[in-house]
């Protein structure tokens, strides 16, 4: 395996990790506030569809991005209404959102475009173009560092950079600001927040709103950055993988980055090497494709250390006497 | 000079929850710089009243005046703004936050944390010196003892510049020495002009620290008196509405042969933590052995192993006959067959099935008795009939066997459990926290029943975190700390102070400050636990 191949795999890792990372951070905000969110998948899917549909119709990816964010936020709003205001079961609400998105996207897409539940392929201004960072070509001849800069760091769409910058931003918000302190507190001990005179409901809706925004970015990136248009079920379980990454990362932003990169790497390897020959034993492509999901199952089954979730997660807050 | 305005004045406060009138036309005046006690049985409306004052509920009628100004308190924010701080019975702390983070939560200076933390660090240092309220500001709450966690709650209120402090049952979770320290803190606060409302059901605390006291009964304020001009007996009578015997009336014990012999009993819980580290004790017929200790030092596990809920190692003999501690024949059914009855610590999860009727609950555990069988079916008519008799004898109110267990008050639920266990005439009664959450009137009855059983020549092992209860009921007292018996004492040869030291693991009376000896002992225990987990 030469250096160029490794770079290609890593480059593809970064692209594939981006939607996972955005969804994972979305889940982080939600779950740190005590709202368990298995609806990441559905929100991403809704955002992917809306962004592709609007981008295809208007020809502008920015309108598409906005529509994606609005779509995911609406889904988030439903989850919030059900689990915060009406104190419903958060798991059931999340599952409902996944079903809703899965069915509605295909139905509307078919009705709208008549192409078998997909949107037309996006072209030109309907997609996020890759950005060439300054001096990328000038530095390319520099050994090792040159190609890393030009191939790996430069040449991604804007949303990739946004996703990676969201990691330090999330860390800073969570651990250095008043909002972050309150957000973490409301996921651990909402009664402490309530008795301190801060609104539990307000904080949780704020978290849900951020979650919707980030899911919107994730979905829009899938349909307008990573691929060129929406196809049915295009999220392909990425919402659940992001959830697994979140648990793996123990609800911490930097660990979330590492976990998502790991999942991205597995996906990239599966894409690059359709089958691997290990000294006579050929690992079939299906096994490679399944790797990220197998790892997800392993993590969710709790094989990876002890992850302590936010203490008030999944519990609707009811004032006690 | 005119009198200053009252720090708090409540005028005609009423609050109903559906058909239940929790507060009925309540008025109090509390003068600044005093400690005012509010005493009453469970459900008398004390907590509702304080929740109204702290903005958790809105009163149906009535007015709140703070420092002579009529004040609306629609939410906790408004209460904090009015200078009211509340220390809840169950602490409202974020366990994995530091002390500082907990203190500033909701009272931050700006959008960023750094300046708030720096300011709080300074204020806490000042408060620690002024009021003996020292805690390590950088420590996580989950690493602090209960007493220190309570200090954090008080610091939270003071940091928000509270002039009026409400404490709801503050000593329920403290060792006597910790409670003494809390009272010193309260005394310091009073000297600084703070106003304190102390809600409790413990008469001794009211007498010890308050200036004035109000008594509540069934949602009404029955009296407000100066503490110096009243007596525990009078307060108890005002609380219950009839004369109450505060001292347990019992003859000296006439112990017979050894019934229960526990030798080097050990128990490891499912987290791998050793909860019983070689406990040895004996209980003789016609004797009550009281186990004193702060909750969480192995008393619960002792009851569970003896009662057949948990497995252990070591030796337990009943009248000289070995009892299985693990595997077959070690379950609760086998224990009952050996005439061991058990009144568990938590009646709601272990003693009763809350959604089942009283008559069903009077037979659980004994339902295999051939007497209750009728072919393949149960003889429900007989069980129900006997239940009515048991309920009458144990004064369960209302005496309705068809009512679900959850519809009885705490005291009456406990009487149902006692009726079931005592009615079988056991040789040994294991009883945990017999009067937790039980009204004074019912406490009197339950204590009399336990003493009656003793006088009938039965052996009784009593576990309670209420030191008063241990002292007044027991014929001998064993104090547990960190899974061991620290020592045995006779109630007439010891006092709260000595027991309190034993409960904190201090076996010899220290020369200097008792509190620092206790702190050292508790810190050593925490270090041991941290090492075990690490």
DSSP code per residue over B325-346: -SSTT-SHHHHHHTTEEEE-S-
pLDDT value at position B172?
Answer: 74
Q: Would residue A71 count as lying in a domain?
A: yes
Classify domain B8-240 by CATH number. 3.40.50.300
Tens-level pLDDT at each residue, chain A (321 residues): 688 888 999 999 999 999 999 999 999 999 999 999 999 999 999 999 999 999 999 999 999 999 999 999 999 999 999 999 999 999 999 999 999 999 999 999 999 999 988 999 998 888 988 888 888 888 888 888 888 888 888 889 999 999 999 999 999 999 999 999 999 999 999 999 999 989 999 999 999 999 999 999 999 999 999 999 999 999 999 999 999 999 989 999 999 999 999 999 988 988 887 777 777 788 888 888 888 888 888 877 766 667 788 988 888 888 754
Q: Report the C-alpha dihedral over residues A180, A181, A182, A183, rounded to 10 degrees.
A: 40
pLDDT value at position A321?
Answer: 44
DSSP E strands in B351-415: the ranges are 373-374, 377-378
Q: Would residue A139 count as lying in a domain?
A: yes
**Under a CB-based contact definition with an 8 Å cutoff, are residues A72 and A51 in contact?**
no
Which residue in the set B75, B79, B94 is minimally distant from A192, CB to CB? Answer: B94
How close is the nearest chain A Cα to the Cα of B94, in Å? 5
Cβ contacts (< 8 Å) between B154 and chain A: which residues?
Answer: none
* Total residue count of chain A as it appears in this document: 321
Cβ contacts (< 8 Å) between B110 and chain A: which residues?
Answer: 178
Tokens of B401: 């066997």
What's the number of domains chain A is made of?
A: 1
Q: Would residue A143 count as lying in a domain?
A: yes
* Count of helices and strands (H, E) across chain B: 17, 22
How close is the nearest chain B Cα to the Cα of A251, in Å? 14
**Under a CB-based contact definition with an 8 Å cutoff, are residues B131 and B125 in contact?**
no
Q: Is residue A130 classed as helix, strand or coil in its secondary structure?
A: strand
* Number of CB atoms found within 10 A of residue B477's CB: 24
Q: Tell me the ipTM for this assembly.
A: 0.89
Does an H or E element contain B165, and which? strand B164-168
Locate tokens 């390897």: which residue? A269
How close is the nearest chain A Cα to the Cα of B111, in Å? 5
How close is the nearest chain B Cα to the Cα of A320, in Å? 9
How close is the nearest chain B Cα to the Cα of A308, in Å? 11
Domain B254-339+426-534 indexed as CATH 3.40.50.300: yes
DSSP state, residue B200: E
Closest chain A CA to residue B50 = A321
Q: Would residue A150 count as lying in a domain?
A: yes
With a cut of 70, list the residues of chain B below it in pLDDT.
Answer: 1-2, 509-516, 526, 529-534
Strands A281-283 and A276-278: antiparallel
CA-to-CA distance for B226 and B221, rounded, in angstroms?
A: 15
Q: Which regions of chain B carry the CATH code 3.40.50.300?
A: 8-240, 254-339+426-534
Binding-face residues of A in 254-283 toward B, CB within 8 A: none
Q: Are B56 and A319 an interchain contact pair (Cβ–Cβ within 8 Å)?
A: yes
Cα→Cα distances A273→A148, A236, A269, A284, B502, Å = 21, 19, 6, 10, 69
Q: Are A182 and B106 an interchain contact pair (Cβ–Cβ within 8 Å)?
A: yes
Chain B residues contacting A via beta carbons under 8 Å: 47-48, 51, 54, 56, 75-77, 79-80, 86, 88, 92-97, 101-102, 104-108, 110-114, 116, 156
Binding-face residues of A in 122-181 toward B, CB within 8 A: 175-181
Q: Are B105 and A182 an interchain contact pair (Cβ–Cβ within 8 Å)?
A: yes
Task: Among B50, B86, B106, pick the best mutation site for testing chain A contact (most A Cβ within 10 A).
Answer: B106
Tokens of B107: 């009272």
**Under a CB-based contact definition with an 8 Å cutoff, are residues A30 and A207 in contact?**
yes
Q: Are B112 and A197 an interchain contact pair (Cβ–Cβ within 8 Å)?
A: no
Task: Name the residue range of residue A168's domain.
Answer: 3-236
pLDDT value at position B479?
Answer: 94
Tokens of B49: 């009243």
pLDDT value at position B510?
Answer: 64
Q: Would residue A291 count as lying in a domain?
A: no
CA-to-CA distance for A25 and B312, rounded, in angstroms?
A: 46
Closest chain A CA to residue B86 = A195
Locate tokens 């080097």: which residue? B264
Give me the phi and psi of B63, to 5 degrees please: -130, 150
Closest chain B CA to residue A319 = B56
Sheet with B287-292: strands ordered across: B340-343, B428-432, B459-463, B287-292, B476-481, B484-489
The partner residues of B473 in beta bridges, in order of sequence, read none
CA-to-CA distance for A227 and A121, rounded, in angstroms?
A: 9
Closest C-alpha to B177, from B200, B155, B146, B199: B146
How close is the nearest chain B Cα to the Cα of A189, in Å? 5
Tokens of A1: 């395996």
Q: How far apart are the first and last CA of chain A?
A: 66
Q: Would residue A308 count as lying in a domain?
A: no
CA-to-CA distance for B168 and B345, rounded, in angstroms?
A: 22
Locate tokens 């960023």: which residue? B112
Closest C-alpha to A166, from A24, A16, A14: A24
Left if phi > 0, otherwise alpha if psi is -120 to 50, otherwise beta: which for A202? alpha
């Amino acid at each position: 395996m030469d250096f160029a191949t490794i770079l290609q795999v890593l480059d593809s890792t970064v692209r594939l990790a981006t939607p996972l990372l955005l969804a994972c951070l979305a889940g982080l905000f939600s779950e740190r506030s005590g709202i368990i969110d298995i609806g990441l998948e559905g929100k991403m899917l809704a955002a992917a569809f809306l962004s592709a549909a609007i981008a295809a119709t208007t020809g502008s990816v920015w309108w598409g991005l906005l529509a994606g964010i609005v779509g995911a936020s609406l889904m988030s709003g439903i989850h919030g209404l059900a689990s915060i205001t009406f104190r419903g079961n958060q798991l059931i609400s999340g599952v409902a959102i996944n079903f809703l998105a899965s069915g509605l996207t295909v139905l509307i897409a078919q009705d709208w475009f008549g192409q078998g539940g997909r949107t037309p392929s996006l072209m030109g201004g309907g997609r996020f173009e890759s950005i060439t960072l300054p001096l990328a070509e000038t530095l390319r001849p520099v050994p090792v560092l040159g190609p890393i800069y030009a191939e790996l760091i430069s040449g991604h769409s804007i949303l990739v950079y946004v996703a990676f910058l969201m990691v330090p931003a999330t860390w800073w918000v969570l651990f250095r600001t008043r909002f972050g302190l309150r957000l973490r507190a409301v996921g651990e001990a909402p009664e402490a927040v309530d008795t301190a005179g801060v609104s539990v409901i307000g904080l949780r809706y704020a978290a849900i709103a951020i979650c919707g925004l980030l899911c919107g970015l994730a979905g829009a990136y899938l349909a307008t950055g990573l691929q060129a248009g929406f196809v049915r079920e295009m999220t392909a379980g990425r919402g659940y993988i992001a959830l697994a990454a979140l648990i793996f990362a123990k609800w911490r932003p930097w660990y979330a980055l590492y976990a998502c990169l790991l999942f991205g790497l597995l996906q990239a390897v599966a894409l690059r090497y359709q089958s691997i020959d290990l000294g006579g034993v050929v690992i079939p492509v299906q096994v490679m494709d399944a790797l990220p999901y197998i790892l997800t199952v392993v993590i969710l089954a709790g094989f990876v250390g002890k992850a302590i979730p936010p203490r008030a997660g999944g519990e609707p807050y009811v004032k006690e006497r | 000079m005119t009198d200053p305005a009252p720090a708090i004045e409540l005028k005609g406060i009423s609050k109903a929850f559906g058909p239940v009138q929790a507060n009925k036309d309540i008025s109090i005046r509390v003068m600044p710089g005093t400690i005012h006690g509010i005493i009453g049985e469970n459900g008398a409306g004390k907590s509702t009243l304080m929740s109204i004052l702290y903005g958790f509920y809105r009163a149906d009628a009535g007015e709140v005046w703070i420092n002579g100004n009529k004040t609306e308190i629609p939410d906790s924010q408004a209460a904090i703004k009015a200078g009211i701080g509340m220390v809840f019975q169950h602490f409202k702390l974020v366990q994995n936050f530091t002390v500082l983070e907990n203190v500033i939560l909701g009272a931050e200076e700006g959008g960023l944390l750094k300046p708030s933390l720096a300011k709080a660090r300074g204020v806490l240092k000042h408060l620690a010196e002024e009021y003996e309220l020292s805690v390590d500001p950088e420590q996580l709450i989950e690493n602090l003892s209960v007493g220190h966690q309570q200090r954090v709650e008080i610091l939270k209120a003071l940091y928000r510049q509270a002039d009026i402090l409400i404490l709801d049952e503050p000593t329920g979770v403290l060792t006597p020495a910790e409670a003494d320290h809390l009272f010193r803190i309260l005394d310091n606060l009073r000297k600084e002009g703070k106003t304190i409302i102390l809600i409790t059901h413990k008469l001794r605390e009211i007498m010890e620290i308050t200036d004035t006291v109000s008594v509540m009964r069934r949602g009404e304020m029955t009296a407000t008196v100066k503490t110096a001009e009243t007596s525990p007996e009078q307060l108890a009578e005002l609380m219950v509405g009839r004369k109450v015997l505060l001292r347990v009336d019992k003859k000296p014990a006439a112990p017979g042969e050894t019934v229960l012999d526990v030798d080097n009993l050990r128990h490891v819980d499912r987290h791998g933590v050793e909860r019983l580290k070689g406990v040895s004790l004996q209980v003789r017929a016609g004797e009550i052995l009281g186990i004193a200790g702060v909750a969480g030092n192995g008393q619960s596990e002792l009851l569970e192993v003896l009662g057949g809920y948990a497995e252990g190692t070591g030796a337990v003999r009943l009248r000289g006959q070995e009892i299985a501690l693990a595997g077959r024949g070690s379950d609760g059914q086998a224990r009952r067959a050996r005439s061991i009855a058990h009144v568990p610590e938590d009646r709601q999860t272990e003693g009763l099935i809350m959604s089942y009727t009283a008559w069903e609950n009077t037979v659980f555990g004994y339902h295999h008795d051939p007497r209750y069988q009728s072919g393949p079916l149960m003889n429900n008519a007989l069980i129900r009939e006997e239940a009515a008799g048991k309920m009458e004898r144990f004064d369960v109110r209302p005496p309705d066997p068809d009512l679900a267990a959850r519809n009885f008050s705490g005291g009456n639920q406990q009487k149902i459990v006692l009726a079931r266990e005592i009615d079988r005439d056991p040789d040994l009664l294991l009883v945990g926290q017999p009067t937790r959450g039980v009204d004074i009137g019912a406490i009197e009855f339950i204590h009399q029943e336990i003493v009656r059983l003793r006088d009938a020549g039965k052996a009784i092992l009593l576990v309670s975190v209420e030191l008063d209860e241990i002292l007044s009921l027991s014929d001998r007292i064993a104090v547990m700390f960190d899974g061991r018996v620290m020592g045995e004492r006779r109630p007439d040869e010891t006092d709260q102070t000595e027991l309190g030291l034993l409960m904190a693991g201090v076996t010899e009376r220290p020369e200097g400050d008792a509190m620092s000896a206790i702190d050292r002992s508790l810190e050593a225990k925490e270090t041991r636990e941290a090492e075990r987990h690490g």
